[in-house]
Every structure is written in structure tokens, then in C-alpha cells.
Amino acid sequence: MGMRKPDGEQRTSPVTGAYVLVRSRRRTIGLEVRPDATILVRAPVRTPVWYVESLLREKAGWIEDKLTKARSHVSLLPRHDFLTGERFRYLGREWPFVVVAFQETALTFDEKTGFSLDMAAFDRGEVVFEEWYRAQARELLAERVHHYAPLVGVSVPRLRITGAKRRWGSCSTSGTVGFAWRLIMAPMDVVDYVVVHELAHLREMNHSSRFWEVVAGVIPDHSTRRRWLKDHGGMLTI
């Protein structure tokens, strides 16, 4: 599941600026403005660049429109300066954050007061948070995988925590399931959906209707949870 960043040529058009051209065995040209405000053109292998650029020119108004929307959305992404009063996401909630002088652990979390960062770790805020999120992700996902594996009807697979940005879960043919540590910022029911999704791949290595039947057997409202991830996934950043 998730969006894998496509490999492609980085090009620049005089009309739209930078864009990515991905050539593949397809018959039509596809134009996309991605949530991170990059322009992506998918084209058949032999499409000449002048053709692609004439398309960009033709669609310039539409592209500009989409870019403006994407950029305004990008600026809404949480970007922290690690200052007292900011809020950090964890399991679907935004928690208060304070910087304190002298505490034993760089970052602590308490359900009553939220996050607390030692002043000495102030300039490593992002690293410290990622470590904390990763540790929570490992613990919680191991527990959720154990819980759901029998319900999906598979044996408990090996677990990997990844640094993926938008690919929330993955499943290898060797039977290892992987989850992005950023997922730990999402609500629990969304985490559970991703867990069940990947476990279901151990039975059906595709997105066929049989696959979705397996998912629905455990999580009947999976489409709502999937929708949440599509709409809010971009917010799950430090």
C-alpha cells in the first residue's frame, strides 16, 4: 500500500519549472500534481520531450491552480522549532510540549502533561523525537501484529520499522511486514487497519476482491480508516 515515489527524469519546463518525467509501457500521458507540490508526467516510452512540454503549456492554468492548492497544504504541515507551547502528534492526538532544564532522559512523555524535552537536547529535537516514535512504533506494532495475526489467519511474521514517508506498510514475499514509524502518530484504529492490511497480504499478495474480503472480515469499516490516511497522512511528520 501507500505511494511509492516514482523514479523518473528530473526536467525543467520553461512554463511550469521543475517536473518529473516517468516513462513506462503505457499508452496514454498522465499529468499529476502531487501533494508535495511536484509535477509528475507519466508517458509512453517513446514520447518526445517537446510533446510533453507542449502538454504542460496547454495545461499551465490547471497546473498552477493545483500547485497553489498543494503549496498551501504543504505550509500547513507541522514543522516544529521545538519550543515550549508547540504540539506533537501521538496516536491521533496532539500533545502539549515543553522544554525543561535538566531531566534525565532527553525526551519523556506523560499522558497528563504530554512531551517534555531536556534543554540540552534542544538542537537534536528532531532526532530525539524520531528515536522516541520509533521505539513506541516497535513496541505497539509488535503487540498489534500479535493480536491480529490469528484473526487474519496467519502466523506472526517478522516485523520491521521503516523510515518511509508515505508508504505506511509493506509486506515482503519472505513474510516480513514493515511499518513506517510515522504511523505511530495516527489514531489507533488507523494503525490497526494498516496492520491488518499488511497481514492480509500474507494470505493474498495483491489487492484483489479476495484480499479486501480478508481485510473486511477483521475490519469492516476499513475504507473509512483508509480514507483518513489518504487525507491526513501528510500531517504525520515531526
C-beta of 185: minimal distance to Zn ion in Å? Answer: 20
Q: Distance between the two ends of the chain, CA-based, in angstroms?
A: 22
Of 53 and 198, CB closest to Zn ion: 198
Quote the least distance from Cβ 1 to Zn ion, whole Å: 4
155 or 206: CB nearest Zn ion: 206
Name the minimum Å distance from CB 80 to Zn ion: 31
Nearer CB in complex with Zn ion: 1/67: 1
The residue of the chain with the least Cβ separation from Zn ion equals: 1
39/218 with CB nearer Zn ion: 218
CB of 23 to Zn ion, least distance (A): 25
CB closer to Zn ion, 118 vs 198: 198
Contacts with Zn ion, 1-40, as mask; x by CB under 5 A: x---------------------------------------
Site residues, Zn ion (CB under 5 A): 1
